[in-house]
Structure 1
Amino acid sequence: MRADYFAKKKRNTLSVLLILTVITLVSIFITEYNVVKGITSVPTAVQWALSNFYPTKESLSKLPDILEKLKETLLVSIAASTVGAVFALFFSILGSNTTGVNPLIKSVCRSIATFFRNIDVAAWAMILLFSFGQSSLTGYFALFFGSFGFLTRAFTETIDEASGSSVEALKATGAGYLSVIFQSVIPASLPQMISWVLFVIETNIRSATLIGLLTGSGIGFTFNLYYKNLSYDIASLVVIVIAFTILSIEFVSNYVRRAIL
């Protein structure tokens, strides 16, 4: 039986690899992608980057302006994540199998979250450009919608996993709905929820760079401006600042996760 199990698992693995290989080959054929040219162009790209894409002493004079735009990006990302988390908490409580009020409301909450989650933040930014134009507000709402959809799903699963037994125990003692939420659901789920919010903040800071290219705001717009003006030394400084910021936030986020989980 054990030999049959491993043989079946091996066949399934080979089948998946074969399917992925076929999909890759078909994609290469349809897009007319030249694999050899793509591989051989890597050394040339690396050589160009080493020759042109590095900060200089003169580019450091632009650092205060870059940091100002970085601050704007950070604040927008954090605000979108935290406000999205507040709305997500409300919808996840109503959409959870453990705390849902009734099947209809639960289904509606889950459907709304699924809709917002399945549209990428870049797509949201392009949609919202028609309403708000190129501004920080467009980037904020794009990140907010993506954060809300993702966190609602994450919070719902967290509530179902973390508080099922305690909710049943409180209900058995005759506790009311609000008592169950504030005495069981939120305390049991809060550490994991904070972890998810920190993760979304990290993700939004990365996404905000791309969003800035579309909305003409933040650090993304700054990079695009200098890159299009062929100021590669300043553009490289922007990339270094973004990378350092993301690594720093990830370090802090991981530390907080270890402390609360």
Structure 2
Amino acid sequence: MPSNFFARKRMNTLVFCVLLVVLTLTAITITEYNVVKGFTSIPKAAEWAISNFYPNEKAMKRLPAIANSLIETLLVSIAATTVSAVFALLFAILGSQTTGVGGPISAVSRSVATLFRNIDVAAWSMILLFSFGQNVLTGYFALFFGSFGFLTRAFMETIDEVSSSSVEALRATGASYFAIIFQSVIPSSIPQLLSWILFMVETNIRQATLIGILTGTGIGFLFNLYYKSLNYSAASLVVIVIVAAILLIETASNSVRRVIL
């Protein structure tokens, strides 16, 4: 019996690998992608980057403006994440299998979360551009909607995983719905909820760069402006600042996670 199981598992793995190779070759054929040329161009691209894409003395004079745009991007990302987390928690409680009230309310909560989660923030940006134009508010709402969908789903799974046993115990004692939420669900789930919020902050800071290119705001706008004007030295400085900020925030986030989890 075990030998049949492992043989079947190896066969499934082999079939999956063959299917993946077939799909890859099909995609290469359809798109007419030259694999050899793609790999051989890597050294030339690296040589160009080393020769042109680095900050010089003139680019360093733009550091204050880059820092101000970075701060704006960070603040928008954090604000969009924290506000969306509040709404996500409400929808997660209503849609959770453990704490949901059932019926159409739970179904609507899950449907709204699924809709918002499956639309990328870049798509949200383009949709919102028609309503708000190129400004900070467009980027904020794009990050807010994307964060709301992701966090609602993550919060639902966290509540169902962490709080099911304690909720059942409180229900057996006749506790009210709000007592269960505030005395069991939120206290037991809050470390994982905070971890998801920190993860979303990191993700939004990365995505805010792309959002800035689309909405003409923040650090993304500066990178797009410098790159299109062929000011590669300033554009490279923007990239370095973004990478440094993300690494610092990720380090701080990991430290917080180790404390709360």
Deviation, 1:5, is 1.4
Partner residue in 2 for 1:78: 78
- Counterpart of 2:185, as a letter, is V
Superimposed CA distance per residue, residues 184-236 of structure 1 (whole angstroms, 9 cap, x where no aligned partner): 00001000000000000000000000010000000000000001111111100
Distance of 1:120 and 1:229 partners within structure 2 = 28
Distance of 2:253 and 2:97 partners within structure 1 = 29
Partner residue in 2 for 1:258: 258
TM-score by length of 2: 0.99
Distance of 1:136 and 1:224 partners within structure 2 = 16
Partner residue in 2 for 1:162: 162
Distance of 1:13 and 1:107 partners within structure 2 = 36
Distance of 1:45 and 1:116 partners within structure 2 = 38
Partner residue in 1 for 2:28: 28
**1:221-260 matched pairs, under 5 angstroms:** 221-260=221-260
- Counterpart of 2:64, as a letter, is P
- Counterpart of 1:8, as a letter, is R
Partner residue in 2 for 1:2: 2
Secondary structure at the aligned position of 2:124 is classed as helix
Partner residue in 1 for 2:128: 128
Distance of 2:255 and 2:103 partners within structure 1 = 39
Distance of 1:16 and 1:247 partners within structure 2 = 36
Partner residue in 2 for 1:69: 69
Superimposed CA distance per residue, residues 19-64 of structure 1 (whole angstroms, 9 cap, x where no aligned partner): 1111111111111111111111100000000000001122111000
Superimposed CA distance per residue, residues 151-190 of structure 1 (whole angstroms, 9 cap, x where no aligned partner): 0000000000000010011111111000000000000100
Deviation, 1:8, is 1.0
Secondary structure at the aligned position of 2:230 is classed as coil
TM-score by length of 1: 0.99
Distance of 1:160 and 1:239 partners within structure 2 = 40
- Counterpart of 2:154, as a letter, is A
Answering whether residue 171 of structure 2 is matched by residue 171 of structure 1, we say: yes
Partner residue in 2 for 1:151: 151
Deviation, 1:93, is 0.2
Deviation, 1:103, is 2.5
Distance of 1:20 and 1:199 partners within structure 2 = 30
Answering whether residue 121 of structure 2 is matched by residue 137 of structure 1, we say: no
Partner residue in 1 for 2:98: 98
- Counterpart of 1:43, as a letter, is P
**1:184-199 matched pairs, under 5 angstroms:** 184-199=184-199
Distance of 2:69 and 2:253 partners within structure 1 = 22
Distance of 1:258 and 1:18 partners within structure 2 = 41
Partner residue in 2 for 1:56: 56
Secondary structure at the aligned position of 1:58 is classed as helix
- Counterpart of 1:201, as a letter, is V
Give the CA RMSD over aligned residues: 0.6
Partner residue in 1 for 2:41: 41
Distance of 1:73 and 1:40 partners within structure 2 = 37
User: Deviation above 2 Å: which 4+ runs of structure 1?
Assistant: none
Distance of 1:103 and 1:260 partners within structure 2 = 35
Paired residues, number: 261
